[in-house]
Amino acid sequence: MKLMGSNIMNISLKSMLEGATAIPYSDALINILEDSCHTYKSEDVFGRVDELVVAFVKGDIPVSFRNHIRSVMREQVFNEIPTDEVFVRLAQYVVLVTILENEDELYRSICASKLMNYMLVAKALRRPIPNMKELLWTYDYHLSAYLRSLDMLHDNKQSSLRSEVPDAEFPLEVSEEDAQTLRLVFKESELYRIERLLMSEDIQKIENPFERVYVGLRKMFDGLPYYYYDLDLSRIIGLLIGSMEGKKRKKLSNIVNDIVQSGYVVDDAYCETSVILGMIDGKEEGVVGDIMLSIKEFAVYLYYEILTEKIISIQN
C-alpha cells in the first residue's frame, strides 16, 4: 500500500548532531554525512533497521557502518574522525530516514514497530539516548496505527446478504456491493473464533498468568489466516487474565524462565529487535532481564513482537 498525501515529519541531521561535537560540523561536512547515511544500504531493509536500532540503543556501532561513513568522508577529503556519540546519531538518522522516506506504508509501519519494540531495552539500560523526541514521533507509524487505518469495516453495516446465505443455493453469486459485507462476516467469525480459543479450557487452565498470556497469544496468531485485522488488544488481554492478576508484576528473566520451563515454546524465527522472543529462545539480554513488567505490559510487548514477526514472515 502506498501512502497518499501523508504528513511526513522533517528530520534534520544538523539538529540531530547538536551537542555531539565540541565544535559544530560545517554545513559541507553535514551534507557529506547525509549522503553517506543515504548510501548505507543493504538488500534487507528490516535487517538494516534491526542492526542500527540495536546499535544506537546499546551504543555499540557496527564496524561496517563506521567504515562506510569514514570511507565516504575520506573520498570527499574530510579527515575528521567521528566520535562514538556522532556515530550513534548517524545510526539514528539512517533509521529515521528508512522509516519516514519509505513509500510503502506497511514497510514503514514494520520498521517503526521494530524501533518501538526495542524501546524495552532502552528502558532497561537507563542510558541517555539523544533525539528521543524524534524517535518517539515514529510511533505515529506503528503497526497499531496502520491496522486502524486499514481495517475500516463498519460493524453496524446491514445487508440482505446475511439473510440470503442460510437458504441460498450454491454457488452463491455475490455482487461487488455485497463483497464488503462478506468481508465483515468473515471478520466477525474470526473474532468469535479468537474469543472461543482464548476462553478454551486448554488455555484458561494454565495457572501462571504470564505463561497463559504467552500460550494464548501464540496459539491465536498461529491460527490467524489474516494478520491485518485491528483487533481489540484490551479485550484480548482481558480474556487471558483475571482482574486480580492484572496487578501482578514480575522480573522479565523470571517470566521467561517460567515460559521455557512450561515446555510450550514455539521455535519461530525472530529478529534482533524482538527482545522477549529472543530471550525465550535463549538469547542473553543482560540487565534487560532485571526489568519489572506488569502482566499487561508483558502482554502488549509480546503481542506486537509476535505480530511484527508474523507480518514479516508473509512479506518474505
Write out the chain's pLDDT in tens, 316 residues.
444 334 446 789 999 999 998 889 999 999 999 999 999 987 788 999 999 999 999 999 999 999 999 999 999 999 888 999 999 999 999 999 999 988 899 999 999 999 999 999 999 998 889 999 999 999 999 999 999 999 876 655 556 666 767 666 777 777 777 777 788 888 889 999 999 999 999 999 999 999 999 999 999 999 999 999 999 999 999 999 988 888 889 999 999 999 999 988 888 889 999 999 999 999 998 999 999 999 999 999 999 999 999 999 998 6
> Of the residues 115, 150, 185, which one is the last residue of a structural domain?
150
Clarify whether residues 128 and 25 are in a common domain. yes
Query: How high is the pLDDT of residue 170?
Result: 73
Q: Which domain holds residue 243?
A: 199-315
Whether residue 134 lies inside any domain: the answer is yes
Instruction: Label residues 110-137 b or e (16+ Cβ within 10 Å = b).
Output: bbbbbbbbbbbbbebbeeeebbeebbeb
Clarify whether residues 133 and 209 are in a common domain. no
pTM equals 0.90
Clarify whether residues 128 and 212 are in a common domain. no
> Of the residues 93, 123, 150, which one is the last residue of a structural domain?
150
Clarify whether residues 137 and 211 are in a common domain. no
Whether residue 174 lies inside any domain: the answer is no
Phi, psi of 251 (to 5 degrees): -70, 135
Query: How high is the pLDDT of residue 244?
Result: 84
Residue of 15, 54, 19 whose CA lies nearest to 275: 54
Instruction: Please name the residue ranges forming H helices in 224-292.
Output: 233-240, 252-262, 275-280
Whether residue 127 lies inside any domain: the answer is yes
Whether residue 226 lies inside any domain: the answer is yes
Clarify whether residues 60 and 142 are in a common domain. yes
Whether residue 74 lies inside any domain: the answer is yes
Cell numbers describing residue 69: 561513513
Query: How high is the pLDDT of residue 247?
Result: 83
Clarify whether residues 22 and 145 are in a common domain. yes
| Whole-angstrom distance, CA of residue 111 vs CA of residue 53 | 10
- The amino acid occupying position 307 is L
Whether residue 116 lies inside any domain: the answer is yes
Phi, psi of 292 (to 5 degrees): -90, 130
> Of the residues 133, 150, 167, which one is the last residue of a structural domain?
150
Query: How high is the pLDDT of residue 80?
Result: 86
User: How many domains does the chain divide into?
Assistant: 2
| Whole-angstrom distance, CA of residue 180 vs CA of residue 138 | 31
Query: How high is the pLDDT of residue 267?
Result: 81
| Whole-angstrom distance, CA of residue 280 vs CA of residue 253 | 9
Whether residue 209 lies inside any domain: the answer is yes
Whether residue 59 lies inside any domain: the answer is yes
